[in-house]
Structure 1
């Protein structure tokens, strides 16, 4: 099995972190976990340290301040690549990304450089979202797809697997998208690099504990960047994209 690192960024996720780490470890026993905490005032970092002390496959990375999701992932990617991990997973701490679906995403790496957990392909679903959240998410994906000429259905989702090879080809040193648009930026870079991208259907579940970090200003900032990228010609060239049905479901 390829060495796998599951990255879980946190900010004020004390109520969720122990459960999500336990579910990840049960779902992918051979994988390692890296909790990346942005100095959460609620003590999430200290609890993550306790989890790491009890399990040699759990690690922590403490950041000095909250700088956005993208900054946390970029530092975690550097941490993982420097230690020889071959697959690096993005997974939210709030339970919206089901760890039990991670084995299917990992199997898809047999045929892809980047695997997207997709809400908007056949078989994908969203649970406990009001209609306006669905409209905002689907609308953001459609707008980005059209303007950037992307073929993927779910361009804003954050449940992903990158191969080390993919991250090394994506010029991470030039990424400056640190908020909601980070996911769009990373997908665009993958497609422009000619990497093979697949989408695997997932069920996205709205958090039950804690508060969402999403806000209207974050979405507006992302869509503003997408508009600039589209109008200035930062369009993706075609990549090899396999439909979910063509991805092998076993080794």
Structure 2
């Protein structure tokens, strides 16, 4: 299936070339879109120099840093406008392994609307990650599952493959998140749409170069949004049950 791998970048000059090379090596039908938010370290210019020699690489330049969610949505819309059948999201820092892309693509080709690369399932691994990061990720996933009624074991994963038809339907909803919670909102919307979701085990490796974009502000935003969605969900269910009871 014609596939585009969307890779947002901001100050990833140390890793972007290697990631591009590894993604393109993972399959002859894979194309890559670098979505760069005007990185001051020259990431965008570096990607463009590679794209000048590689027909399967494209670069989408944005005027400034506007958040992970906005970068992904820009990339998703770019892909849908060009009729890609599968759209993949992955990080540029080397934490996601391009060699595992076939695992996601096989799941989509077998019928999944969304394939999620999952760390927290049998076969999944996390290497070289600080204990604090593991705790935040596991706790965030558990909190989201409880409040949103999600069945996903890694709802915060950023390594995913969407069938184009599923992604199109999800983007018809308003996506309000920009940071860490963007991944949660997207996955939850797919779950609510009733699309078939498959989780596959992946190996997540802590970045060796550059700095993490994660911050306490991003984590707090995610907690706030998940709490709001969870409360709204509960109120909606209570109201629905009340209306059902009144009609009897």
Alignment of structure 1 residues 210-221 onto 2, 5 Å: 210-221=210-221
Matched, 1:133 2:133: yes
| CA positional deviation for 1:173 | 5.5
| CA positional deviation for 1:30 | 1.5
| CA positional deviation for 1:233 | 1.2
**Structure 1 segments (4+ residues) deviating >3 Å:** 234-237
Of structures 1 and 2, the larger Rg is shown by 2
| CA positional deviation for 1:235 | 9.4
Alignment of structure 1 residues 153-164 onto 2, 5 Å: 153-164=153-164
Paired residues of 1:116 and 1:159 also in contact (CA < 8 A): yes
Q: Deviations over 1:23-76 (max 9, x none)?
A: 001112221100000000000000010111010000000001101000000011
Q: Deviations over 1:168-210 (max 9, x none)?
A: 1113451121111000000111011111111000000000000
Listed as ranges, the gaps of 5+ residues in structure 2 are: 238-248
2:175 maps to 175
Paired residues of 1:229 and 1:235 also in contact (CA < 8 A): no
Q: Distance in 2 between matches of 1:82 and 1:236?
A: 35
Alignment of structure 1 residues 84-103 onto 2, 5 Å: 84-103=83-102
Counterpart secondary structure, 1:67: coil
Paired residues of 1:106 and 1:161 also in contact (CA < 8 A): yes
Q: Distance in 2 between matches of 1:77 and 1:65?
A: 18
Q: Distance in 2 between matches of 1:45 and 1:16?
A: 12
2:242 maps to none
Alignment of structure 1 residues 166-205 onto 2, 5 Å: 166-172=166-172, 174-205=174-205
TM-score where L is the length of structure 1: 0.91
- The size of the alignment, in residue pairs, is 236
Give the stretch that moved more between structures: 150-159 or 23-32. Answer: 23-32
Q: Distance in 1 between matches of 2:79 and 2:62?
A: 15
1:3 maps to 2
CA RMSD between the two structures: 1.5
Q: Distance in 2 between matches of 1:100 and 1:169?
A: 28
Q: Distance in 1 between matches of 2:18 and 2:236?
A: 38
| CA positional deviation for 1:111 | 2.7
| CA positional deviation for 1:234 | 6.9
Q: Distance in 1 between matches of 2:235 and 2:25?
A: 40
Counterpart secondary structure, 1:14: coil
1:247 maps to none
